[in-house]
Structure 1
Amino acid sequence: MRVRLKADGRIVELRDGQEFPVQPFPIQPFPIQPLPIQPAASAAPAEASSLAVRDLRRRACLTQMEFAAKLGVPVETIRNWEQGKRAPRGPARALLAVIAHAPETVFQALAKA
């Protein structure tokens, strides 16, 4: 179906070079459903992750800048992890897990790389 909006606001259907009025159809409003409230427990992993990163860095006796330099990431990344704005993902999460068990070994290996 091809339609055209006329200057007076009417909508007409174009068929065989002629214009035919379009019958308006009632608009059904969408039912409004409240969004489900997320339980507070869903926020806990990000918070726990940020505390874990801060704890790892402090146990290694490093500043944010030193920790970032050893990991080869921007200091903003460390700040975002520690403040809970972002969470480490993928390889960074794996690296942090290894650092938790053998920090000196990881830092020595990263220094050689």
Structure 2
Amino acid sequence: MNKKNITRVKATAAERFNDADWAAFDTLSDEEVVAQAKNDPDAQPSSAAELQQFQRAVNVKTIRKQLAMTQEEFAHAFQLSLATLRDWEQARTQPDQAARTLLKIIAHNPDLVREALSQYPLAD
């Protein structure tokens, strides 16, 4: 395959929804919207088993903002990679289990985490 003949196009969110008839949608009642959604095979509700497997996402940006810290300050204070923090906040990647646990502890008691990490400073 000759890669010179391949055109890659990345649709924006707005472009993906341009074919929707929003005027017709706006005329529907809430009950009609729910009924149509239930009839859509691609939009079926999750089963109880599927819901059990869901994990609540840790909102890193909210935690950081509650601490009134910049991304740089937060990353430095909690010994995190700035690039990783940015990826989490922009939902490019998700924190793994260990990182989610650390973030929950930071949200609950940031001073304790700072104190603990001060015992093990990063090498510059």
SS at match of 1:85: coil
| Equivalent residue runs for 1:78-93 within 5 Å | 78-93=85-100
Q: Deviations over 1:63-98 (max 9, x none)?
A: 101111122222111100000111111211110011
| Equivalent residue runs for 1:89-108 within 5 Å | 89-108=96-115
- Give the gaps of 5 or more residues in structure 1: 1-35
Coordinate RMSD, CA, aligned: 2.9
Shift of 1:112: 2.0
Matched, 1:74 2:81: yes
The structure with the greater share of residues assigned to helix is: 2
Count of matched residue positions in the alignment of Structure 1 and Structure 2: 74
Aligned to 1:25: none
Q: Could you say if the C-alpha distance between residues 111 and 86 of structure 1 is closer, same or farther in structure 2, counting changes exceeding 3 Å?
A: same
Q: Which runs of 4+ in 1 moved over 4 A?
A: 36-39, 45-48
Q: Which amino acid aligns with 2:116?
A: A
CA distance in 2, matches of 1:68, 1:46: 24
Q: Could you say if the C-alpha distance between residues 76 and 99 of structure 1 is closer, same or farther in structure 2, counting changes exceeding 3 Å?
A: same
Q: Could you say if the C-alpha distance between residues 76 and 37 of structure 1 is closer, same or farther in structure 2, counting changes exceeding 3 Å?
A: farther
SS at match of 1:67: helix
CA distance in 1, matches of 2:95, 2:76: 16
Q: Could you say if the C-alpha distance between residues 94 and 69 of structure 1 is closer, same or farther in structure 2, counting changes exceeding 3 Å?
A: same
Aligned to 2:116: 109
The structure with the greater share of residues assigned to strand is: 1
CA distance in 2, matches of 1:89, 1:95: 10
Structure with bigger gyration radius: 1
TM-score normalised per structure 1: 0.54
SS at match of 2:69: coil
| Equivalent residue runs for 1:46-85 within 5 Å | 48-49=57-58, 52-85=59-92
TM-score normalised per structure 2: 0.50
